[in-house]
Amino acid sequence: MAKLRFTFVYFVLAVSLTAPWCPSPGDAQGSRIVTVPTLGVRADGMPGVINQVLIQFERAALQTGPVIDFNEINLGGGSVVGEEWKDGVRLAVQAVARIVGEDGHDWRITIKNRAVTAVTDGRSSSGAIAVGILAAYKGDALRSDIAVSGVITPDGRIDVVGGLPSKLEAAAGGQYRSLVISRHQPYTSDWPQGEEAAARLRVALIQVRTLAEAYEAMTGGGR
């Protein structure tokens, strides 16, 4: 019986991040869940992949936040995430706190990476996760036809990523019509191949400098 109870607890934890949130009447701030797509490159040389990152934002009676919880339970398609990936999330939280002018002392953010691979690492998802956190904070909806691939910096800039051609292949396969990238991406070594892939796959490249510009594109103000 003890074993059955243990399994049930983990099932509830996994479902709680995928089911719609219904705030209690006494919870004025409530809790919001946003899902944002991220693009990855596989180490085995296979085509790029699309992961879905679930972000739950809530305010809690904390004085030492922001608190970031990583839900790595593999029920519901979750995956283990590496330290670089987690560092990218921490940078994303810093950037969002900076742009909204808060210190985040009462923030609790839960992150679940739903991936096709067992382990995900690297910081290239951090720009998209920053956009997702900001959307959850504001209560805005994200466009379903645009993805983001960029590294976030603590001061809110979007930096370059590697593997752009593979990520464009993944974006096109997922029916994304546009990809938000760093303004500095054209200075990377794989830019010629990326530009060719974008033209061939008919995926528009939206170059941005900052999280604010990426957010504008992802919430309906894109070019």
Tokens of 205: 């490249």
pLDDT the model gives residue 113: 95
Question: In degrees to the nearest 10, what's the CA dihedral of 100, 104, 110, 114?
Answer: 40
In the chain, which residues have pLDDT < 50? Answer: 1-28, 222-223
pLDDT at 82: 94
Residue-level pLDDT at 9 = 32
Q: Return the half-sphere exposure (C-beta side, CA atoms, 13 A cut-off) of residue 36.
A: 31
pLDDT given for residue 66 in this prediction:
95
- Bridge partner residues of 49 (DSSP): 40
Q: What is the CA radius of gyration of the chain?
A: 18
Kindly report the pTM of this predicted structure.
0.84
pLDDT of residue 45: 67
CA–CA separation, 158 and 21 (whole Å): 30
Query: Residue 210 has what pLDDT?
Result: 98
Contact 206, 180 (CB under 8 A): yes
Residue 221: what pLDDT?
A: 54
Summarize pLDDT for 50-104 with one digit per residue, the tens: 999 999 999 998 788 999 999 988 766 778 999 999 999 999 999 999 999 999 9
